[in-house]
Structure 1
Amino acid sequence: MNYRFITIEGNIGAGKTTLAHMLARHFNARLILEAFADNPFLPKFYEKPREYAFPLELFFMAERYKQLKEMLQTQDLFSDLVVSDYLFVKSLLFAKINLPEEEYNLYQKLFDIINPQLVQPDLLIYLNAPVSRLQENIRKRNRSYEQQIGDDYLEKVQRMYTQYLRQHAVRTLMIDTTKTDFLGEPAHFQLLLQALEKDYAPGIHYLEVNSEK
């Protein structure tokens, strides 16, 4: 496999972290996970989004930058495989949804200073799931502050990711997870591993993984 830095992305509840763990174990890779639980503003944001959106997004961006910068300094990307469960640009995408225009413009200026300093992934695996599936997964993992996330918010996130991927030539493997269970169906995971042996051009490439295959 030619990819040394793989990032997994998707909406809230798409299964990013689960798949990142599986890939890291399989390839004996370094695993970088979003430290969402360390963000003290997250529960407050879901209760009072307007009041806490800006500190929430600043904290997330700072933590993501710190994690990825440390990876850049300590990893030999030519020999070591890294798997991450987030794309740094998600900071900007969520800020676009959550912040008023003036705060977003300030946030974007900070993002534009930081982003060029980071290594970009060789391949993005995007887990695309319908909102009903996302809500089911959110209920199952039972994080108290997530239980009030509405369908409309998830739909906004979905649209923002879709718009970004269509506008930028990110080398992306898009997987519809409606009938996909990487953890419970070993054959599904094997199909993904086979797909990772291929070389993809920049842009979106679709991988169909379901129980009928």
Structure 2
Amino acid sequence: MLTKFMVHNDYVPQSKDDHEGRFITVAGNVGAGKSTFTRILGQSLQFNTSFEKVIGNPYLEDFYRDQKRWSFHLQLYFLSQRFQDQKRIGQEKSHHIQDRSIYEDVEIFAKSLYENRKMSQRDFDTYSELFYCMMTPYLIKPDLMIFLNGSIDTVLNRIDKRGRAMEKQVPKSYWMDLHRRYEQWISEYKESPVLVVNIDEADLLARPDQVDLIKKEIQNILNVKNNYQ
């Protein structure tokens, strides 16, 4: 099955005027294809797009060499970039699709580093306080999350295929741990409806018909979502 639609029982719809625009965020493990989905669906839907900053990231290469030393710095950088994105999207009030959600930074990556003893208790507490106490009240919630999910083999093959040297230094166990965390996290996620896309079957570059299919599903979900309010 290419897609599956999910709404958590505890999801609370948000009231939104038509002129505010619709906000979609694309989530998934490293290598899942978030940037490709964001770019292609952004063009198809005629939504503005924003992408995770990898090139020019001042901490990423250091982090992959020494996760324990650089984890806090990297996570703060990503959190800052994502929050700036959120602020800009909210101010523009236009239709927008975003590569990676701010929730992943907190619930997947920072928590994984802390629980695997690559971020200290002190740093994790500071990071969590910054997000939950200072940022959360100002976040705009997505109208829809697209979650890219599939087998860990597909993720590992895509990481290997794109050939980033710094990612190849990371042990397979790290990606497998993230994969498990993503599946647990999405089952508990309740900030918005979720459209799960099976990356074992999806290939938007080679299958334009899949782009049209997913586009129609998104449009239907966003239209129906108005009835939740």
Counterpart for residue 176 of structure 1: 198
For the residue of structure 1 that corresponds to 2:212, the secondary structure is helix
The superposition leaves residues 8-49 of structure 1 with CA deviations (integer Å, 9 ceiling, x where unpaired) of 110000000001001111122111111122321111111111
How well do the aligned residues superpose, as a CA RMSD in angstroms?
1.9
The number of residue pairs the alignment matches comes to 197
- Find the partner of 2:126 among 98, 106, 118: 106
5 Å-filtered alignment, 1:156-175, equals 156-169=177-190, 170-175=192-197
User: Which piece of structure 1 moves more, 45-54 or 136-145?
Assistant: 136-145
Q: What's the TM-score, normalizing by structure 1?
A: 0.85
1:151–1:66: structure 2 CA closer, same or farther, 3 Å change rule?
A: same
Q: What's the TM-score, normalizing by structure 2?
A: 0.80
For the residue of structure 2 that corresponds to 1:35, the secondary structure is coil
For the residue of structure 2 that corresponds to 1:120, the secondary structure is coil
Counterpart for residue 31 of structure 1: 49
Identity level (%): 28
- Any conservation in 1 of the 2:150–2:200 contact (CA below 8 Å)? yes
Counterpart for residue 211 of structure 1: none
> What amino acid is aligned across from residue 153 of structure 2 in structure 1?
S
Runs of 4+ in 1 over 6 A off after TM superposition: none
- Find the partner of 2:168 among 147, 156, 162: 147
Higher helix share: 2
- Find the partner of 2:219 among 187, 197, 200: 197
Whole-Å Cα distance in 2 between the matches of residues 159 and 38 of structure 1?
Answer: 29
* Cα deviation, residue 195, structure 1: 1.4
- Any conservation in 1 of the 2:26–2:100 contact (CA below 8 Å)? yes
- Any conservation in 2 of the 1:24–1:83 contact (CA below 8 Å)? yes
User: Which piece of structure 1 moves more, 10-19 or 30-39?
Assistant: 30-39
Counterpart for residue 206 of structure 1: none
Counterpart for residue 137 of structure 1: 158
Whole-Å Cα distance in 1 between the matches of residues 131 and 89 of structure 2?
Answer: 18
The superposition leaves residues 155-213 of structure 1 with CA deviations (integer Å, 9 ceiling, x where unpaired) of 221222222222232311111111221111112222212211323789xxxxxxxxxxx
5+ long unaligned stretches in structure 1: 203-213
